[in-house]
């Protein structure tokens, strides 16, 4: 019984191997000139599928002979050579194919290869010397050299006349974009954003100030990974923004994402990681220095010593364990709320296509911490760009994108509070017996006032 099983597996493997070998067939033949019947040297012989994609290729030898390993007998053979008209014909199950090429009647007097840099004026790519509009462009190559996780970080300081400021240093915070300064004090001063030819809409809540209500909406630009961007062009003057109407009164930011190309499938993986640390600030009072300064300040101002029986926070009385242990520390509140942040960004791109259909697919994940404890941002995003060319005049494009952001932030400014919070306070609560607990020490009121 065991021998039968082994024999069965051997037969199965052999049949699979024979099936795999049957998928590729070697096609031989000769390419000759239709006039002198001589072999055409170095002619290109390419196997293409029904969509025009290149599957396999080879070239002819000195006698015009070729041998091509074809993947499918239902594909076509395309033969081309300099000075001859190209020929495309079906394999149709044949293993020997001889082709005669007709010479091309066109004679080339000279070939001139000219290269130049083009700039985008918001409508098309033109020569820089013909550009009369106020525009600025940053390319994908410039973005790839930066270790930025978002568009606002990539643009800061890179484009003249464009000011980008974040509401805070926390990841995922809203940002403010100004082109050539602020044109209004109480109106909407944000520029118009166009992504792949379509205006980028932002929802403005009715209960927000119109001047800054949409800054969180512009923070959604974080969902476009820098690796997906082909180029960014900023339109500054009225001539370049005229086509977008009155909505472009504050300027236009045109973002073009990458598209598919005529090539085999190409997979690209990009990883970016960085570490951030808060710089040292100016020195602050310690808890002991604070406890000495406040009574002296009150006495110098009023001429009356501070009543330590009422304000026990500065008494340092060991017979009152609650106040002694809770108000006898040297706490650096900035250090208590600060951490070293680590950010990682992963992006996977797939692009390719044939003569008609092209595709670009990307998937990205970002996870970053803020330098303030309790802040951070994580996001997952995907983008699919599809192009289908019907003819030289008709082309269909479809763009799909999805992003999910999870932002952690503080509703107040903890760093501002850390500068003013009493440094002799304990971060954690001591009970009336002087025992340390795991609860944060946050009294309802103390000498600094009420927290209600």
pLDDT (tens digit per residue) in 172-184: 666 667 777 666 6
Q: Answer yes or no: pTM beyond 0.75.
A: no
| pLDDT of res. 346 | 92
- Terminal-to-terminal C-alpha distance of the chain: 84
CA 320 – CA 312 distance, rounded (Å): 9
CA 308 – CA 313 distance, rounded (Å): 8
351 has a pLDDT exceeding 90: yes
CA 211 – CA 226 distance, rounded (Å): 27
Confidence of residue 71 (pLDDT cuts 50, 70, 90): confident
Confidence of residue 365 (pLDDT cuts 50, 70, 90): very high
378 has a pLDDT exceeding 50: yes
* Minimum mean pLDDT range among 100-104, 211-215, 380-384, 429-433: 211-215
Query: What mean pLDDT comes out for the span 388-404?
Result: 88
Q: Of 346, 350, 406, 345, nearest to 383 (Cα)? A: 350
Tens of pLDDT along 221-247?
Answer: 556 777 888 888 888 887 778 888 877
CA 233 – CA 138 distance, rounded (Å): 7
450 has a pLDDT exceeding 60: yes
Locate tokens 């020195």: which residue? 283
Tens of pLDDT along 75-117?
Answer: 899 999 988 999 998 888 888 999 999 888 665 566 677 666 6
Q: What Cα–Cα distance (Å) separates residue 420 from each residue in 285, 372, 425, 441, 446?
A: 10, 17, 12, 16, 13
Which one is predicted more confidently, 217 or 309?
309
| pLDDT of res. 435 | 92
| Domains defined along the chain, listed by start | 21-101 (2.60.40.10), 119-257 (2.170.130.10), 287-331+422-450 (no CATH)
| pLDDT of res. 235 | 84
CA 81 – CA 68 distance, rounded (Å): 16
Q: Are strands 252-257 and 192-195 parallel, antiparallel or unpaired?
A: parallel
Query: What mean pLDDT comes out for the span 406-412?
Result: 76
64 burial level (CB within 10 Å; 0-12, 13-18, 19+): buried
Tens of pLDDT along 132-154?
Answer: 777 777 777 776 666 666 666 66
33 burial level (CB within 10 Å; 0-12, 13-18, 19+): middle
Tens of pLDDT along 242-296?
Answer: 888 877 888 888 888 889 988 889 999 988 888 888 888 888 899 999 999 999 9
């Amino acid at each position: 019984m065991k021998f039968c099983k082994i024999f069965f597996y051997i037969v199965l493997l052999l049949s699979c191997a024979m099936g795999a070998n049957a998928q590729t067939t070697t096609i031989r033949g000769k390419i000759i000139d239709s006039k002198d019947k001589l072999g055409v040297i170095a002619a290109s012989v390419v196997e293409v599928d029904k969509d025009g994609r290149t599957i396999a290729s080879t070239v002819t030898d000195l006698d015009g002979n070729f041998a091509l390993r074809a993947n499918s007998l239902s594909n076509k053979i395309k033969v081309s050579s300099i000075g001859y008209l190209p020929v495309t014909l079906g394999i149709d199950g044949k293993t020997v194919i001889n082709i005669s090429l007709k010479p091309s009647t066109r004679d080339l007097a000279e070939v001139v290869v000219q290269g130049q840099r083009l700039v985008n004026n918001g409508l098309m790519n033109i020569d820089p010397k013909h550009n009369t509009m106020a525009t600025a462009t940053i390319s994908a190559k410039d973005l790839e050299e930066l270790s930025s996780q978002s568009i606002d970080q990539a643009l800061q300081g890179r484009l003249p006349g464009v000011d980008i400021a974040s509401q805070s240093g926390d990841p995922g915070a809203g940002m403010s974009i100004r082109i050539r300064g602020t044109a209004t004090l109480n109106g909407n001063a944000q520029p118009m954003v166009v992504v792949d030819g379509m205006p980028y809409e932002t929802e403005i809540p009715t209960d927000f100030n119109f001047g800054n209500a949409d800054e969180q909406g512009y923070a959604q630009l974080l969902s476009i990974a820098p690796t997906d961007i082909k180029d960014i062009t900023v339109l500054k003057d009225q001539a370049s923004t005229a086509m977008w109407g009155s909505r472009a009164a504050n300027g236009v930011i045109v973002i073009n994402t990458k598209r598919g190309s005529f090539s085999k499938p190409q997979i690209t993986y990009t990883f970016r990681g960085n570490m951030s640390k808060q710089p040292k600030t100016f020195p602050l009072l310690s808890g002991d220095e604070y406890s000495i300064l406040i009574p002296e300040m009150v006495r110098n101002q009023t001429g009356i010593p501070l009543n330590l029986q009422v304000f026990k926070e500065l008494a340092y009385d060991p017979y009152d364990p609650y106040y002694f242990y809770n108000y006898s520390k040297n706490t650096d509140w900035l250090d208590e709320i600060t951490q070293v942040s680590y950010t990682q960004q992963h992006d996977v791109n797939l692009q390719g296509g044939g003569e008609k259909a092209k595709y670009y697919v990307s998937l990205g994940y970002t996870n970053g911490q803020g330098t303030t404890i309790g802040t951070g941002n994580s996001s997952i995003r995907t983008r699919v760009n599809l192009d289908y060319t019907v003819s030289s005049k008709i082309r269909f494009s479809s763009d799909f994108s999805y992003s999910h952001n999870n932002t952690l932030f503080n509703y107040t400014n903890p760093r501002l509070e850390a500068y003013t919070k009493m440094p002799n306070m304990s971060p954690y609560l001591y009970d009336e017996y002087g025992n340390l607990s795991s609860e944060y020490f946050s009294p309802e009121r103390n000498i600094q006032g009420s927290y209600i």
